Amino acid sequence: MNGPHDMGGQQNFGPVDATEKPLFSDDWERRVLSLSLAMGATKAWNIDSSRFARESLPPAQYLASSYYEIWYAGVCKLMLERGLVTEAELASGDVLTPPLDVPGPLEASDVAAVLNRGGPVDRPALQPAGFAVGDRVRTRNQHPRNHTRLPGYARGRVGVIERIHGCHVFPDSNALGEGECQTWLYCVRFDGEELWGADGTAHAVNVDCWEPYLDPA
């Protein structure tokens, strides 16, 4: 989706405020983080679905929201979509409808083990890799309305395969609940000039690209 989250190369957001600040500006931010992680751990949705929920907020809302406001909106959206809660429940905080079964609520005693295990996304290869290190590739000029991890600034550009990461879950399908559809993931190096002409200061930008984003060049 060509959404407001796809920020690479946008201009006029001002300088980076590098001053050191607490991780959480207020306690509610802590709670949003932990609620999001705990709900993610139930496997009621996957990480790609959660990213899609956040980035598909209305653009004006996304840009006007703080980071954890976006997370709050995302988790609410995911739960509403799945019927886990209702709007009236979110507004009141009171249980008004029976809970649905979720695969597994996270117990405090399991937190360390669950976090340590993480969620690896490498999978057995279903076919040989289509590209080798050193191959020239061109990213596809595609504008899907759903989730994708090919940033706008890197579409239709020529780069070189620098590294093969292995076969990873394909977020474009996984975000929609249409399966992991694992496919080869490459680290592609783009010259700064290929991306930005004479107006950039990066010698190169590396972007991780799944095979369906790439054609030979």
Partner 1 sequence: MSDDHSHLDPIAVRVRALESLLVDKGYVKADALDALVDTYENRVGPRNGAQVVARAWVDPEYREWLQRDANAAIASLGFVGRQGEHMVVLENTADTHHLVVCTLCSCYPWPVLGLPPGWYKSAAYRSRAVIDPKGVLTDFGVSLPEGADIRVWDSTAEVRYMVLPMRPAGTEDMSEDALVELVTRDSMIGTGLALEPTGSAL
Positions in 68-107 near partner 1 (CB under 8 A): 69, 72, 75-76, 84-85, 89-95, 99, 102, 105-107
Which residues ranging from 35 to 54 are in contact with partner 1 (CB under 8 A)? Answer: 35, 37-39, 42, 44, 47, 51, 54
Kindly list the distances between the CA atom of residue 202 and the CA atoms of 86, 137, 154, 177, in Å, as whole numbers in the listed order.
47, 20, 14, 36
Interface segment toward partner 1; rule CB under 8 A; list 25-33, 126-134, 135-143, 176-184: 25-33
Closer CB to partner 1, 54 or 137, in the complex: 54
Which of 77, 80, 123, 153 is in the footprint of partner 1 by CB under 8 A?
153
At its nearest, how many Å lie between partner 1 and the CB of residue 42? 6
At its nearest, how many Å lie between partner 1 and the CB of residue 58? 16
Which residues ranging from 2 to 21 are in contact with partner 1 (CB under 8 A)? Answer: 5-11, 13-18, 20-21
Output Rg (C-alpha) for the chain, integer angstroms.
20
- Asked if 161 contacts 186 with a C-beta cutoff of 8 angstroms, the reply is yes
Site string (172-201) toward partner 1, x via CB under 8 A: -------------x-x-------xx--xxx
CB-based contacts of 153, cutoff 8 Å, min separation 6: 8, 9, 195
Which of 32, 57, 78, 167 is in the footprint of partner 1 by CB under 8 A?
32
Rounded CA-CA distance 68/19 in Å is 19
Rounded CA-CA distance 144/54 in Å is 16
Rounded CA-CA distance 47/37 in Å is 10
Closer CB to partner 1, 99 or 216, in the complex: 99
Q: Pull the structure tokens for residue 44.
A: 């009621």
SS3 at position 76: helix
CA angle 38, 75, 79 (to 5 degrees): 95
57 counts as binding partner 1 under rule CB under 8 A: no
Q: For 101, how many CA atoms within 13 A lie in the half-sphere containing its CB?
A: 1
144 counts as binding partner 1 under rule CB under 8 A: no
Residue matched to tokens 């700064």: 192
60 counts as binding partner 1 under rule CB under 8 A: no
Closer CB to partner 1, 80 or 135, in the complex: 80
Interface segment toward partner 1; rule CB under 8 A; list 130-138, 143-151, 176-184: 143-151
Size of the site for partner 1 (CB under 8 A): 94
